Amino acid sequence: MEALAVRLSGLDPYVGGAIRVVAFYDTLMRRRVDLPALARASAGLAECVAGIRVHGTGRSIRVSPDGRDAIAPPAPATTTVPIVLDEEEIGTVWLERGGAVNQLDDVLLDRLALAAAAAVERYGPARTTMADPALVELAIGADTDEAARARALRLLGFAADVPVRVVAVRSRVPLDRIGGLVCPARPVKAAPLADVGVILATTVDAARFPADVRAGIGAADSPDRSWREARTALRFTTPREPVVRHADLGALALLAEVPQEASRDNADVAGIARVAGSPEDLETLDTYCATGSLRRAADLLHLHHSSVARRVEQIGRTLDIDLTDPTGLTRARLALTAWRLLTD
């Protein structure tokens, strides 16, 4: 190849240079270098800043000709080429030459894009928790075809044969921190979608969620179904139970399917709305429903047993339900849950 390049360069310097560029990247691909190494090699070859961005990570790699990370503000890209894998654009490569374009820049970037696609397919995206929201939405979307979903999951770093669990989160805690805590072994990816945070992980340790985090956990099934389950489970979270697995809801999950108008028109739910006008009464009812015991509720509320008994009796009259009867207690629990779903 080198001998051929020398002969051709005597006839056409551009052809000789192009062959050397192709051989340069063929060598890098045979050595199975990763994205940072590709960027460093390309910056040295081009003698200007070279950049690589993979949509699945949302992170850009910019390297100066000296092999160090480029710290200067990005200059306008002189030349840009998409990274394509399985006929889908998954990222971009570019050069920041800042002057006249070199005639070999197009060849260099074409080969860099091919090498970058091979590196992503081999190694997956960088080990970062935050991901491109558009790619996450594609992975969990109900209308996504299975081929596109599989590509999105692969670009996010998930193997095709590993089930992915989806978590819906509401919290002021950064999503990358939450993801790292609940799935420290990785892979785990997170992104904000509208007012809900989304975490995709192979395993989720529900006990490791930080305080003040509300989270609904879907089953490790297809990502779109897991996402629907996670959003439903999130609606059932409370200050007392901030993390809910959809699998643990059982028949309670059916309450999320009840039309809101039907819930509002229900006498028991309307009664809970009246009780909610008093935060003290609502807390008492919630604690009593959770424990099913006046004495246990009194312990949790730090009140005397007789005080809680009087409150429960008064709340029962407001609801027109005998809260000391098992059936009445079940009605109150269901009505309280249905009312919370209305106020979610």
Quote the pLDDT of residue 11.
42
Q: Could you say which of 2.30.30, 3.40.50, 1.10.10, 3.30.70 is the CATH number of the domain covering 133-256? A: 3.30.70
Quote the pLDDT of residue 322.
95
Look at domain 2-123 and name its CATH class.
Answer: alpha beta
Distance (Å, whole) CA 168 – CA 180: 15
How many residues make up the chain in this entry? 344
What's the CATH number for 258-343? 1.10.10.2840
Q: In the chain, what are the domain boundaries? A: 2-123, 133-256, 258-343
CB contact at 8 A, 57 and 129: no
Distance (Å, whole) CA 317 – CA 151: 58
Which of 200, 169, 174 shows the shortest CA–CA distance to 187? 200
At a CB cut-off of 8 Å and minimum separation 6, what does 231 contact? 168, 196, 216
CB contact at 8 A, 156 and 129: no
Per-residue H/E/C for 278-343: CHHHHHHHHHHHHHCCHHHHHHHHCCCHHHHHHHHHHHHHHHCCCCCCHHHHHHHHHHHHHHHHHH
Average pLDDT of the chain to the nearest whole number? 89
Quick: pLDDT tens for 14-51. Answer: 777 888 899 999 999 999 888 999 999 999 999 999 99
Residue 119: CA atoms inside 13 Å, Cβ hemisphere, count? Answer: 26
Quote the pLDDT of residue 334.
96
Quote the pLDDT of residue 58.
65
**2-123 and 133-256: identical CATH topology:** no
Q: What is the mean pLDDT of each run of 10 residues along the chain (344 residues)?
A: 43 73 93 92 93 79 92 83 82 87 90 92 70 91 92 84 92 90 85 93 93 93 94 95 96 95 96 95 95 93 93 95 95 96 88
Show the beta-strand stretches assigned E in the chain.
49-54, 59-63, 79-85, 88-96, 165-170, 188-193, 196-201, 214-217, 243-245
Quote the pLDDT of residue 116.
93
Assessment of whether the complete model's pTM goes beyond 0.75: no
Quote the pLDDT of residue 10.
46
